[in-house]
Amino acid sequence: MRPMQYQFVAIADADVPRSTEPAFQYMLDTYASETNKVVSVWREFRDGDLAYRPHPRSTNVGDIFKHQLLSERRFFGEFIGIEEPAPADVLPAEMTVAAVITRLTQLAAARLAHLAPQRAEWWHTRVPFFEVERERIWVFWRRVLHTAHHRTQLTVYLRMMDRSVPPTYGPTADVKWDGSDPTNSVSAAGRK
């Protein structure tokens, strides 16, 4: 069975720093992997697609890109409390697909470097999160889920644009490989 392969990898496994606390390495690996999944989806868009919205009340592609960059900055800077660039320095000078992918990758790599040396006590410290307090580790996972939400939103846009949808967790209608085993049946779900 061949494992899932991305056509493009923004952050290679070898570039993910090692956590000071081995029990937290999975978080760094997951953040890098989720960033790679976002990049895989964003690469399917063209510069001419940035104004696309499937409905007048929907957010356009370019604004979802901006939101991803700015909201990650807010989560990691304001809530988690790591060093982040000033908000005015987060977006690229020119909003192109290539520029937002480059910026997303740069910011994620810098965050990994800040997160890697953190100890368990730091991760479990309660921090302000909007109007409540949560542990940093909780805020981190909320960020990952928020990112997955917007990535999925954009895969729907791709499908509505009749574009290829890249694999993120497994095969899609557009991308399959030998040995892929999607769980689309009761028998597949019942395997042990």
On the question of pLDDT at 68 being above 70, the answer is: yes
Q: How confident is the model at residue 67 (pLDDT cuts 50, 70, 90)?
A: very high
CA 175/CA 6 separation, integer angstroms = 10
Packing angle of the helix pair 136-160, 61-74 (nearest 10 deg): 170
Fold for domain 21-174+182-189? Answer: Four Helix Bundle (Hemerythrin (Met), subunit A) (1.20.120)
Phi, psi (deg, nearest 5) at residue 101: -65, -45
Q: What is the pLDDT of residues 27-60, one digit of tens each?
A: 999 999 999 999 999 999 999 999 999 999 999 9
Residues 43/60/91/77 CA torsion (nearest 10 deg): -100
Q: Which residues contact 52 (CB under 8 A, 6 or more apart)?
A: 60, 61, 157, 161
Dihedral of CA atoms 10, 112, 129, 137 in degrees, nearest 10, equals 110
β-pairing, 126-129 vs 132-135, is: antiparallel
Instruction: Answer yes or no: is pLDDT of 156 > 70.
Output: yes
Summarised one tens digit per residue, pLDDT across range 74-128 is 999 999 999 999 999 999 999 999 999 999 999 999 999 999 999 999 999 999 9
pLDDT band at 12 (very low <50, low <70, confident <90, very high): very high
